[in-house]
Chain A
Amino acid sequence: MDQEFETGEIVEIIGIIAGVELQENDQCHSCGAKMICRPGASGKRMLYLKNTLNARVGDRILIEQSDKNQLKLAFMQYGLPMFGFIAAVIIANLFISETVLGIPAEIWQFVIGLSVLGIIGVFIRLWCARKAAADFSVFSMKKICQ
């Protein structure tokens, strides 16, 4: 289920972690989101990976992506909060269907949905911390390119 992802250049090494600057590929130039596709504050597409190949600064590496782990993360990040939000709003709709304290029912339902979203966020944070301790990652170094 793993697949080759893209190449990048190592720009910094912090202990066992390597900072990799991802290189733009051909599809980036025709993508509508290219102006804002700069995750992180550095303005560069950076990825921090465990330096399993003992690569050095300046090395170009091939990065591998685990689809299975990515799907798990996507479900935790988007799927679970979304189902929680929808369930909370629908359940709130069963109990609050009229204006309460001068505030319309829909706003109460939305606020309850958002609250559940926040609670799920805390749960995800704990889950991520546990997974991080168990060395769970989506991206890994595959090989050093010549």
Chain B
Amino acid sequence: MTNLFVIFLSAVIVNNYVLVNFLGICPFVGVSKKIGPALSMGMATTFVMTLTSAVSWLINKYILEGLNLQFLQTVSFILVIASLVQLVEMFVKKISKPLYDALGIFLPLITTNCAILGVALFLVMKEYNFIESIVFGFSAGVGFTLAIVVMAGIREELELADVPEYFKGAPITMIVAGCLALAFMGFSGLI
């Protein structure tokens, strides 16, 4: 149990995917204008990361390792993520059209999120077992959500701040992202 807690803390804070490993920057900047959509995006990403980690672990353990095809890891994981997102999209569309209309837009964004692929590759590299992999995927998603929500909160506040004209938009966003990354570097060495 302690082991799972260490994995959780490590993926959420110490090795945060966005602010320490710099993965998933596109949605981090693109969907962090308001807290509401940022939180929804975070939840969607966490859901896909958790499922991806489970499926990737099984594929790696019982197909790639079994057939000695580890060199196909990256390609297989990309296929797993794309198929999984497509399946989730079809499932959501089947369950409820209003749900699909309201939140379906986040799914294509997730397909192109390299943090998901990062999770699949890291869990193999770190040789986690099945449960540890799922906790790792979930924690990485929570870390992503934390980063994107913090960023959205700051950007909402920035709308009320007196930002110089030339810094408005992308420049101030990058500066804030840099400051956040520096802050998170303070956690390095915690675990």
Is B100 in contact with A39, judged by CB distance below 8 angstroms? yes
Expressed in whole angstroms, the minimum distance between the Cβ of B119 and any Cβ of chain A is 14
**Interface residues of B toward A: which range?**
35 or more
Restricting to B78-131, which residues have a CB under 8 Å from any CB of A? 91-92, 95-96, 98-105, 108-109, 111-112, 130-131
A1 — nearest CB in chain B belongs to which residue? B36
B10-54 vs A, Cβ < 8 Å mask (1 yes, 0 no): 000000000000000010001000111101100110110011001
Interface size class of A (residues with CB under 8 A): 35 or more
Determine whether B140 belongs to the interface, using a CB cutoff of 8 Å to chain A: no
Beyond A78-B40, A86-B134, 18 additional contacts (C-beta under 8 Å) are A3-B36, A33-B111, A37-B108, A39-B101, A70-B40, A71-B40, A74-B40, A74-B103, A78-B43, A78-B103, A82-B46, A90-B131, A106-B61, A106-B130, A107-B62, A128-B95, A128-B98, A139-B101
Min distance, Cβ B109 to any Cβ of chain A, angstroms: 5
Contact B36 A67, beta carbon cutoff 8 Å? yes
User: Does A51 belong to the interface (CB within 8 Å)?
Assistant: no
Q: What's the Cα separation between A32 and B27 when bound, in Å?
A: 9
A85 pairs with B51, CB closer than 8 A: yes
Q: Which residues of A contact B (CB under 8 A)?
A: 1, 3, 27, 31-33, 36-39, 47-48, 65, 67-71, 73-79, 81-82, 85-86, 89-90, 93, 104, 106-107, 109-110, 113, 121, 124-125, 128-129, 131-132, 136-139
